[in-house]
Amino acid sequence: MVKLFLTLAAAARTAVHAFNVAPAARPLSSLGAVGSRGAGRGGVYEDLTGTVGNTPVVKISDKLAPEGVEVYAKCEYFNPLSSVKDRLAVAIIEEAEASGALKPGMTVVEATSGNTGIAVAMVCAQRGYDCVICMAEPFSVERRRLMRMLGAKVIVTPKAGKGTGMVRKAEELCAKHGWFLCHQFENEANWKFHEATTGPEIVNDFAAAGKKLTHWVTGYGTGGTFHGAGKALKDALPDVKIVLAEPEAAGLLASGTPGRKRERNSQLQRLRSRPFSTRFG
């Protein structure tokens, strides 16, 4: 059996999800994507958020893959702001609108090191909300500029406070002004969106290509992709193996002491005990 891995390129700075799949005789090029060039998308989008999701799966050259292994990338940088976090932002904002937690004229605030803030700023610009992003001083200046270009106000918190300081600032602003706080780590709209979109997209694309998915490898941030897409994959493909990869020097799960993220997200401990995950040191 030839192994096939699918990697998910989450942004321009590629984060990886990988799948190990048994090949079928029919090549992936038999899909109609190339043949449909020129056909258009069958309509127009009312705003940019409609283009989030349905990102392509692309084979990595055999020259770069281990012998006997097929590697595929789910290219999340095809999302409008080039990140898997576009899904998170759409999920949280749309769920808040539907529940009434976010109303016209309100301000959206979130603490973020970058990609989530960029995605939230984009969705707010499309939906007409003011956006405030709290970001610790050590994080990327370029990302601050991009968020401001999208119309967000960026509040830079002191370096000494690190991630905890920016989170507390966002919570303080929310409490003071009655703003809507995204709570990306706790918000269940995050993983539920991946369960409804990312996971089924993977299942459907590999089924259409005649490929049997055997492994999925993913990184870990908020846990939304791992939790939601992983759940959808296991529901559709009970035998698939899910591998969770994280840096040895900064392991959230392997260390058992994920710090502020542990305080913010009780989901983390639940995921540590999931039987379908494997941790690499």
- Domains of the chain and any CATH numbers: 3-82+189-279 (3.40.50.1100), 85-188 (3.40.50.1100)
The position carrying tokens 């999701």 is: 53
Instruction: Confirm if 152 and 132 have CB atoms less than 8 A apart.
Output: yes
Instruction: Give tens-digit pLDDT for 70-82.
Output: 889 899 999 999 9
Instruction: Give tens-digit pLDDT for 3-40.
Output: 555 656 655 443 445 555 555 444 545 455 666 788 89
Nearest to 14 by CA among 104, 74, 94, 103: 74
Marked catalytic residue, from 3, 74, 85, 169: 85
Q: How far apart are CA 254 and CA 17, in angstroms?
A: 18
Annotated catalytic, 3?
no
Q: What is the reported pLDDT for 262?
A: 45
Task: Please state which of the ranges 6-15, 91-100, 108-117, 235-244 shows the lowest mean pLDDT.
Answer: 6-15
Instruction: Give tens-digit pLDDT for 162-218.
Output: 889 999 999 999 999 999 999 999 999 999 999 999 999 999 999 999 998 888 989
Q: How far apart are CA 64 and CA 115, in angstroms?
A: 28
Q: Where are the alpha helices (DSSP H) in 42-140?
A: 85-99, 115-127
